Amino acid sequence: MKIICRRTQDGLVPVSMAQAELLMKIPAGQDVTVDVIRTRNIGHHRKFFELLRQSFDMQETFTTMKQWRAIVTVAAGYCDIVADSGGKAIAVPQSISFANMDQTAFDQFYKDVIDIICERYVNATPDELLKIMEFL
């Protein structure tokens, strides 16, 4: 059973009546295990893709957005290493889908990508790049 709750001063509270009804199925006094997964923020997800678009225009090495996204994801360390049929190691970017990355992990991913973009590909500090993003 999965119940979506919101953190309040009183603790975790179901976000809807449907979620409250699910919670009521658990007998009072029964211990339960809770895996806390911060729901992804769609606005932050969109901000990431805007960051990619803006930084893509600031670099001169890669010719497509698909390449750019893959390169900065791998360079930030979010990849799996697999071997091709000849045994050569290939870095495959990890998925950043909502199902594969909660908000806490996405926050770190976002920071790591900004750091890599600034360190290797554009002439800006992370703070400068974020200020550019604020004006969009």
The pLDDT tens digits of the residues spanning 76-135 come to: 999 999 999 999 999 999 999 998 999 999 999 999 999 999 999 998 899 998 888 776
The chain-wide mean pLDDT, for the chain, equals 92
For residue 135, the model assigns a pLDDT of 64
> Which 3 state secondary structure label does DSSP give 63?
coil
The two tokens of residue 125 are 């500090």
Q: Looking at the DSSP assignment, which residues form a beta bridge with residue 7?
A: 12
Q: Is 29 left (phi over 0), alpha (psi -120 to 50) or beta?
A: left
Token look-up 């923020």 returns 41
Q: Is 77 left (phi over 0), alpha (psi -120 to 50) or beta?
A: left
For residue 34, the model assigns a pLDDT of 84
pLDDT tens-digit profile of 33-85? 888 788 889 999 999 999 999 999 999 899 999 999 999 999 999 999 999 99
